[in-house]
Amino acid sequence: MSSATEPSLVNSPERPCTLECTRNIGIAAHIDAGKTTVTERVLFYTGVVHQVGEVHDGCATTDWMEQERERGITITSAAISCEWSTKDGPYAEQPHRINIIDTPGHVDFTAEVERSLRVLDGAVGVFTSVEGVQPQSETVWRQMDKYNVPRLGFINKMDRMGSDFLHAVRTLRDKLGANAHPLFLAIGAEDNFRGLIDLVKMNACIYDASDVSGVKFDVVDIPKEFIEQANEYRETLIEAISDFDDDIASKYLEGLDITEHELKLGIRKATLSLKFVGVIPGSAFKNKGVQMLMDAVVDYLPSPLDLPPTKGQDSDGNEAEVSPNDSAKVAGLAFKLMSDPFVGKLVFYRVYQGTLRKGSTLYNPRTRKSERISRLMIMKSNDREDIETAYSGDICALIGVKNVVTGDTLADRDLDIRLEPPTFPDPVISMSIEPATKADQEKMSIGLQRLAEEDPTFTLTSNEETGQTIISGMGELHLDIIRDRLFREFKVEATAGKPQIAYRETILGSSEGVGKFIRQSGGRGQYGHAIIKLEPNEKGKGIELENKIVGGSIPKEFIKPTFDGITEAALNGVVAGYPVIDIKVTLVDGTFHDVDSSEMAFKMAGIFALKDAMKKAQPILLEPIMKVEVTTPDQYQGELMGDLNRRRGQIQGMENRGNLCVLEAHVPLEKMFGYSTDMRSLSSGRADYSMTPSNFEQVPQSLVETLVASISRQPART
């Protein structure tokens, strides 16, 4: 994976930090594993902040949204730039620019993780020392695999009751299939966790108990009681690295000593291969182990030069690619949009190639328009620092770009390339949203459009049948945050509820219907009379109209108005007022009046005839049926099948894929509201599902009265 390009040829002499000393990393894990706390300590030790902020106090630097501080969770990924120098190793004393993105852990905000990993070069997976791998850890790990991101593991919360570092490492192997090996061992656990043993340098770091900041620690010889364990795990580490480095393998087999420098280069090579994960213990809350993690980020995670060229397509659909080079034409990816109350739209941008200067113009191949960059910034959470230039490998924010969406390539006009955008899962839950007052209607529309621009997994549609605004997202918490942001950022009061379901009506039997419209008002009256035959049609055929009038019982000019009346009447059935589908209507007879008959009279006759026939033809209510596919680990299969059956679902099939089970079922849409939350609860967050419309089926007669009663209480449909 190492680049063949000489670093000195791709670095601009003006750049403050060379490409080989640049790291773009993400901090990702299960909710509440301590990602934000780890990031907070990194900022403290690198001097970005001078006072540590705590998540539980609502003071974390990267949790800057009001909703994040109130709930103690990360909702939106935050970018931070800092500098770190190691004291020894291949990059000793060289200042490194580290761009960090702290991502959310909650599954509802998985898009934030997805788009961050798309533009990052490496990642740190944070796990707890008690639980080890948790459900959302698996999802995050799969996302890292998807984008081929080299990674380190940080086993956090070593100070907690029940912590077990080696057990947590085993869960990485067992549940994630990772080739995980400790780079450090923990000295003590729970209240006695006091330091780390470095298996590369074979020394120990003991923290000063009197210094709660964690800045002071002593580097000493390994305590006698840990020497045997340290030798055992160093031997295992060297054996694992031998699979990736021939020099280490030959030295190991010959029983020769392996130097610290050689072992570090071997670990780096193994990490970049994506087939090795080095693991470090620590307690971010108690300020232990974070400095060792930062050294490992510098020593083992890739610079932009260590990765293969970034692929895309040219305008003809052929493969194209870009590589880090400050002197080449500019190309990069807009991976996130954010509305800022002070500067307007912020576009987070990863520079893959070239040098971008303030005031320059970039071309968007999607819109075929150029955009001028009025300002360039380095982000520090919700604070920002103006810069004049961004170089290859940098992550920055652009101001002045208007017509851009997540995943757009912005490049030099002469560079014909569209980089591969991140992909996002489809929304899994929907609800209706209505403004509290008429005055809020326009503000709500503007607010929702802005939020949909920022968040690719939040979609906005209007249901023509019900007149409702429908918002869709990744979970109930996701949509709750959207409503909260509408209120706080756009001052819109909105109420949410289930969207009305698009029921349909049809018939089971055949009948005859008579429609008469007769009005006498002193002058010219109104007269229309039509007789129809109504029968069921094949599924999916819709409404079929046939004229069998003979002998001129209804003149030709009144045939079309009669059919228009029948079509209009079919928009509102007789069971619950829903559209009628799959019927065949034959106009068989009628009468007319030479003076009083008119188009309007025959249209009304058609309406009355269909209503009359429907009542006598065994009308039924149809409900939309969804095809649901649930993917779950085997142990949750029974609970999820039982839950689908309780929702009136019909299991269509079951398939095993490795240690996963895939269930296929047909379930009424009305029973799928809230399913996302229930499914996650039943499977400890480890199952997921997809849902697509399938067909319409008859509502069981025992439920029709209840449904009709609830439908009658809903707001009128437009």
Cβ proximity of 108 and 92 under 8 Å: no
Q: Which residues contact 559 (CB under 8 A, 6 or more apart)?
A: 547, 549, 587
* Cα 194 to chain centroid, rounded: 38
| CA-angle at 113, arms to 52 and 411, nearest 5° | 105
| Residues 109, 57: Cα–Cα separation, whole Å | 22
Pairing of strands 526-536, 511-519: antiparallel
CA end-to-end span of the chain:
59
Rounded mean pLDDT for each run of 10 residues along the chain, 718 residues in total: 53 85 86 78 79 48 46 58 75 79 66 81 91 78 88 93 92 91 94 93 91 85 94 95 93 90 94 96 91 93 92 89 92 85 80 93 92 86 78 89 89 91 76 82 86 85 75 78 82 76 88 92 83 92 91 91 95 89 94 90 95 94 87 89 94 81 88 84 83 82 76 49
What is the helix, strand, coil percentage profile of the chain, to 5? 30, 30, 40
Q: Give the strands of the sheet with 459-462, arranged side by side.
A: 459-462, 469-473, 429-435, 494-497
**Which pLDDT score, from 0 to 100, does residue 603 have?**
95
**Which pLDDT score, from 0 to 100, does residue 457 have?**
82
Buried b or exposed e, range 242-280, using 16+ CB within 10 angstroms: bebbeebbebbeeeeebeeebbbbbbbbbbbeeebbbbb
Supply φ then ψ for residue 567, to 5 degrees: -65, -40
| Residues 662, 631: Cα–Cα separation, whole Å | 5
> Residue 603 has which token pair?
């249209």
* Residues forming a β-bridge with 469: 433, 462
**Which pLDDT score, from 0 to 100, does residue 592 have?**
92
> Residue 322 has which token pair?
């870009």
**Which pLDDT score, from 0 to 100, does residue 680 have?**
85
Give the pTM.
Answer: 0.69
Domains, the chain, with CATH or none: 20-306 (3.40.50.300), 311-419 (2.40.30.10), 429-497 (3.30.70.870), 504-617 (3.30.230.10), 624-713 (3.30.70.240)
- Which residue in 80, 76, 110 sits closest to 422, CA to CA? 110
Q: How many CB atoms lie within 10 A of CB 295?
A: 22
